[in-house]
Structure 1
Amino acid sequence: MNYQVGMISLGCSKNQVDAERMLSLLSENGFTICSDPACCDAIIVNTCGFIEDAKRESIESIFEAAQQKKGRLKVLAVTGCLAERYQNEFADEVPEADVILGMGSIGEIAASLRRALEKGERVISFREKSDLPLEGERILANEPYFAYLKVAEGCDNRCAFCAIPDIRGHFRSMPMEKVLEEARRLADRGVVELNVVAQDTTRYGQDLYGKLMLPELLRELCKIEKIRWVRLLYCYPDRITDELIEVIASEPKIVKYIDLPLQHINDRLLRRMNRRGDSSLIRPLLKKLREKIPGVCIRTTLIAGLPGETEEEFEELCDFVREEAFERLGCFAYSTEEGTPAGEMPDQIDPELRRHRADQIMELQMGIAAEIARSLEGQTLEVLCEGYDEEARCYAGRSYMDAPDIDTKVYFTGRGGLKPGQFVTVEITGADGYDIVGEEVVLG
């Protein structure tokens, strides 16, 4: 029987790639992918379990999807990080879930759904995390002109605040030839922008080849003719080598953008976080990136309210944000996560104060981002058009400074007939908060 199945995928881009591989497996096994929950025989909720807000969103999505059982829906499946993290509790506490699969079991999604749909079985499977496949065909869940290219799985960094190593297992790189095969397939399907991701992208290849191989991988990706942009996400500061900087600076297809989660600048807190490197590494690295890569856009993420963070240490973080004037920045309020070293620290800060501190950082960043946007007036940028925005009554797209889903937009007027995925030259005429406003430059 041809069953209709829907997918709700939450959380990060790595989780999205897992969802896209599940969709492809389902399609290969005779299921029809459906975007309307009311028409689905089965719905998969691919959960995130990273921090408290993400867990809450995942639980809400599960219960919202379960409401469809009042109609056509027969089977609700739960996969992803939250299921893996709380596997012992999930079966009892979420009886609405007919299929529960851990990270290592998502390759069983098609067979599991058929057992539940055709035999009425409840299927629960938690294979070894290392059974999660590193490769496979995908059905893109986003617009077809960009894709996330996941080059590794898992993490060994063991940051004190983070549960990801326990959820996703040890770091494993995908062999380079397999990464390049997937990139070529994506390019042949119309993808023009590759966003290279992993839990620790800069560590790519060390486990397989005995050395950091991201620079070599990037050079090979740039040889793929149909790819126009290659973007780097989730890079660790202590693995930003001179070779990597040179590749970013010299390869025209690599956008001058680097996502560099720093978390904090105070040395005591960085040690408490179990982060490699301290301010004596971070500050010179930022200086070097700006010197060696003209026009580089640096994105970072920070954590406010880690246990024991004093007012003075928080002010040091605020001063750091002012001094560095990051082009793109996000700040999270620390989330107490069970099973992590930080979650066991005695000097937990009141959640309201954590949120207040994170909000303060973001208020600072709003002013910095607006100033940076205004400084672009009169310049031209290459923009990847994402279509016509009916509400704004103009086109919207992204410049090299903007990663999909997390960064700002460029809103611009154009000659008409522009298609999503088309590159256009835009002259910047102003700014609207974080966003940039401009008009297309018609060349020739």
Structure 2
Amino acid sequence: MPFLYTFGIALYSLLIRLAAPFNPKAREWVAGRKGWKNKLSGAFQDTDKIVWFHAASLGEFEQGRPVMEAFRRAFPNHKILLTFFSPSGYEQMKDYVGADVVMYLPADCSRNAKYFVRILKPAMAVFIKYEFWYNYLTELNRSKTPVIFISALFRSGQPFFKWYGGWFRKKLRNINHFYVQDEHSADKLKSIGIDQITISGDTRFDRVADILASKRGNADIEKFCKGYSVLLAGSTWPPDEEILAALPARFPELKIIIAPHEVKEDRIRQLAATMKLNVARFTRDDPASWPDKQVLILDTIGILSSVYRYADIAYIGGAFATGLHNIQEPAVNGMPVIFGPKYDKFREAVALVRDGGAYSINSSSEMLELLDDLLYDTVTYNAACEVSKKYILEQTGATEKILNGIRTYL
């Protein structure tokens, strides 16, 4: 099985290279890994104590970020290497100042893993959530490097829990510790003989609490919102935007801010056409003209989390298509959160709907009816606000549990 796994990795790498001339993300995946040996060998001094953090993509990075930043404060003399598998993570965070070096993770073949671990000589390796790379884990174990997984989630469909997964189960048993998000994940690991587990919770809750405490904002957006009720729609896709298009006519005194999931020019133009209004664009239009518009499109990335503080109600996209995006950021700001029907795989969404802090809708008519209640029934609105914020803040604390564990290895 290890041979078939490594063959599959090699085949995947070949297919990515063949796709690179035609696919921008594949091209970034290939180009970003060129010269990785030179970058790694020149990145650190022989005397450096290095802790390696690895995230698949941007979402996993955001889960690991509170731990990295807490680690930096607790161990200022250690160096941090941050690696990514996908371009969507690396391209957005390649200049992240919380790490000493940021780079792509080379493909998980035996030769790459041996060179990587031998040159890096990490004092510890921290994998975030899902990343199980067989050859890297083999070399880390061979070099007696402590390895932990943080914010980990396990489900029955993963190969470790199948009849053919014995070869990989052996690797998991060599992991020093698993910090898992929930009891179900702990039970799955125990079912295959793994007991080095702590149910720490989800570090994303710590991240959004930190963002709330930072009080970072934008003066121009604050002026746009001043004196109005505000709905902020985050990470939207076209099906979400069709729902939002019905709002301006029904609620002319409602200001609407939309942050689409993709900010390519054709998507922004499509969104503006869908809203059927003379909308303002964050990067294109003079902020002095924004207050005259009802809709503001955030056609950029990196600011959404700091804008929720100006909203009264949040709509989060994805639940009419691929799956719900992050609802923790709006919820921690203490507001009702609305989304589409596909949310059952997201613990916090299920909990907030159950407790009355969030609402799932299936159509524009349901959205209009719900907003009538939230905008004009203060009892319903205030109750939802209280539930949302309380739920998020009660989930914090995972970072400190993980950091205490890290201290035992360094």
What is the TM-score with the length of structure 2 in the denominator?
Answer: 0.30
Q: Which has the higher helix share?
A: 2
The structure with higher relative contact order (CA 8 Å, sep 6+) is 2
